[in-house]
Each structure stands twice: as C-alpha cells, then as structure tokens.
C-alpha cells in the first residue's frame, strides 16, 4: 500500500474533504497510471483516473475522479468502518511533488 503519514505528507493547504479527495485521486492516478482491474465479465478499466474537464453548459472546469478499489471479503463479517476493508492498489510511495504546498 502507499503509506501515508498524516502529520507530514498532506500539504497544509488541503483543508476540505473535497481537496483531500482530489489529492488522493491524483496520487493514485500518478502512481498507478496503467493499472487495470476487472470490473465484470470481459470488462476491465483503469483502477484510478482523474482529469479536468471544461463544462461549457455552466462555464466551469470540473475535476472528474474515478476509482475502482478492491474490498476485502472480511467486510461482510467485520466490524470496522467501510474504508478499513479497502485493499491497496500498489506499494508506490507518494511522490514528493504531492507533499509540498
């Protein structure tokens, strides 16, 4: 898994859940750009995708994030929070550029 030290790795400018979600998606995409997963019979997709898209209808840029994360079978009988059962995509360290403001 990509380890995370919440005291030193998350830039101080990340002060909302939305910014944290975009930051996490960016790291997962940057460290696993070609990793694909099986999502159905005969259907594979990239495990992490993120991109900025211009939406002409409201003249705004939107960051669209897509993650496909494996969940341990233990989630069926475990008592932990839902996110505790998510399995790692890789063991790639967080790139230094993501740790700086």
Report pLDDT digits (tens) over 28-54. Answer: 999 999 999 999 999 999 999 999 999
Could you tell me which residues are beta bridge partners of residue 55? 60
Q: What is the pLDDT of residue 2?
A: 78
Residue 65 host element (H or E): strand 60-67
Whether pLDDT at 15 is above 80: yes
Whether pLDDT at 70 is above 70: yes
Residue 40 host element (H or E): strand 36-40
- The per-residue pLDDT of the chain, averaged, comes to 94
Question: Can you tell me the distance from the alpha carbon of 72 to that of 86, in angstroms, rounded to the nearest whole number?
Answer: 6
Q: What is the pLDDT of residue 53?
A: 97
Cβ proximity of 47 and 32 under 8 Å: yes
């Amino acid at each position: 898994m990509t380890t995370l030290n919440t005291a030193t790795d998350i830039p101080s400018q990340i002060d909302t859940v939305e910014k944290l979600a975009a930051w996490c998606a960016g790291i997962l995409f940057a460290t696993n750009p070609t990793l694909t997963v099986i999502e159905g019979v005969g259907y594979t997709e990239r495990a992490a995708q993120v991109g900025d898209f211009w939406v002409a209808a409201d003249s705004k840029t939107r960051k669209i994030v897509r993650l496909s994360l494996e969940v341990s079978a233990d989630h069926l009988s475990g008592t932990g929070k839902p996110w505790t059962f998510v399995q790692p995509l890789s063991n790639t360290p967080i790139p230094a550029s993501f740790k700086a403001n």
